[in-house]
Amino acid sequence: MAGPGQEKAAGTAGGGGLPTSYDQREQAIYVLRAAFVEGRPDKDEFDLRLGQAFAARTYAELVSVTADLPAGLPQSRRRCLPWSRGSAD
């Protein structure tokens, strides 16, 4: 199951109108923070997207906040995430 920032089409593939969960919102915020640390959005854009993530009511709205950001995180960081299903090396 893809989360926000992992699959652009996920929000439009039938599940877009579903309410967003707390975990999905936290994952989107994590993706935003990771992108901000990497210097992708500037401070103003980060603040705007963060507000959109908190205001998102549906999964489609939440996906649109992170759709243009890279979904991949370095493997070492991915292992410590509670929603990561990958096994530790």
Indicate if the pLDDT at residue 79 is higher than 70. Answer: no
**pLDDT, mean over the chain:** 76
Q: How many CA atoms lie within 13 A of 85 on its CB side?
A: 3
Residue 58 DSSP SS3: strand
Q: How confident is the model at residue 51 (pLDDT cuts 50, 70, 90)?
A: very high
For 79, other C-beta atoms within 10 Å of its C-beta total 13
pTM of the model: 0.63
